[in-house]
Amino acid sequence: MEIYWVTLVCLSSIVVCKIIQKIYKYYSWRTKIDEIPGPRGRFPIIGMVWEITRVKQEDQMQWLHKIANQYKNGIFRIWIGIDPTVHINTPEHAEVILRSTKHIDKSMIYKYIVPWLGKGLLTSTGEKWSHDRKLITPSFHFRILEDFAEVMVEKASILNRRLEEKVKLHGSKSFDVFKMTGKCALDIICETAMGINVDAQSEVENEYCQAVECISTGIMHRRLRPWLKLDWIFYRTEKGKQLKDAIEKTHEKCVHLIEQRKAEKQQKLKIVDDTEAADGGIGKTTRRAFLDLLLETNENTVKPLTIEEIREQVNTFMFAGHDTTGALMGWVLFCIGNDEKVQKSIHQELDEIFGDSNEPVTTKQIPQLKYLDRVIKEVLRLFPSVSAIGRTMSEDLELSPYTIPAGCTLTLQIYQLHRDPRHWPNPTHFDPDRFLPENSRDRHPYSYIPFSGGLRNCIGQKFALLEAKIVLTEILRKWRIKSRDNHDNVKAHTAMILRPHEGIFMNFYPRSY
């Protein structure tokens, strides 16, 4: 009996010591974070939850911008319950993070995307991320991207037809183009990534398109509601059930397509061989998707990807290459529609290159679009498709004079960084000539990072820019445009990407008008 009580006392002492140790460790960790300046919540424990939930969605960007402006050294922290986030918004701090080979782990918010994307390039880290990045990078070579230009032109032509229908339907009334550019981008990425035509721009909603939209809205619904953080709570809600069902549909579609592509590969090779034999070696070129390129590359690697891993990468292409580019094209139209001088300069450049020709744009003409290139860059400065990126600190990080402890979430606010008046005079003014060579020469290299930077920069940025230039060229060769709203009254919010709160309403006029 005496041994029993001795054992019990010893075990209890060990448990108490462990608890005290954990409390002390958390207290020390929290003390380090609280050395970083930041706003104080009205109530203890819950941090800034009360304040954040009282801010309307359309006002959240400006709310955060005002907080950022209070801390002139470009670093501050915000507590959401017991979870802190350290925000940084200067090029100097961005360079420290993005050039690091250690701090490449994505923040916890990305775990909400894992059920859909698995461990694709966006969410993976360490050796797996490094292996997959090397494997996939050749698929984004510009010579390969040229093969996708035909798809982009086709989908841009469909978008122009939809715009004609809208103009006839609405007459002199403006209409929302943001969803239209998004559907055009979805059309393009479905065919270039998976080799399927989903006809996303038709009036009839495609099941796959509906599933993708459900996933995007479901993830954001969860992200903005801390009480849905636990899976066992979220997946019991109606939104959680809808999200799970949508993810299963996209997985089934993608896996079926991968297996179908693999099964057809040998048959296609045989057809090509037979064709070449029949026509003297000049076979017909077939259109290939990223999926085909990935399957080919995968056959020649020492450590090939499984079907599930290929599915994760293809779904990542779908996610990262859909809303982001669609948003970019929508914001470009908004900015051009607010500046007659800029629009006139674009039309002049297009006329010089194309004249009276009705032939579609080619990749050989894209490099000649110097002014449109500067316009797109300036739009990405003011309205970066991804307004912030997150990291989880794998070890303590010194950002003088503060220490960000290991395990803390760090958010790089690209939207704020792009409006730093030290590097961007009159930062809210839209001016494409900021990107003339003579005006860019002495600018900090990390003052402009619309595609992130360093090791984890966006692998698809060349694809996105090529797509935007082709689609916008085909639109602007045909139309003059006018935005309903201006830079002073348009409101944007982050919902996976930077979205206009009420859409982007515009008028379109034929250039012969």
pLDDT tens digits along 231-251: 889 999 998 999 999 999 888
Q: What per-residue string of b and e applies to 408-437 under the rule 16 or more CB within 10 Å gives b?
A: bbbbbbbbbbbbbeebbeeeeebbbebbee
Distance CA 197, CA 260 (A): 15
HSE on the CB side for 435, CA within 13 Å? 17
At residue 144, the pLDDT reads 73
Per cent of the chain over pLDDT 70 is: 89
At residue 285, the pLDDT reads 47
Which are the contacts of 278, defined by CB distance < 8 A and separation ≥ 6?
none
At residue 487, the pLDDT reads 94
Query: What confidence category does residue 9 fall into, taking pLDDT thresholds of 50, 70 and 90?
Result: low
Say yes or no to pLDDT of 93 above 90.
yes
Say yes or no to pLDDT of 129 above 60.
yes
Q: Are 291 and 314 in contact (CB under 8 A)?
A: yes
Query: What confidence category does residue 276 fall into, taking pLDDT thresholds of 50, 70 and 90?
Result: very low
At residue 147, the pLDDT reads 81
Host H or E run for residue 391? strand 388-392
- pTM to 2 decimal places: 0.89
Mean pLDDT of 320-349: 95
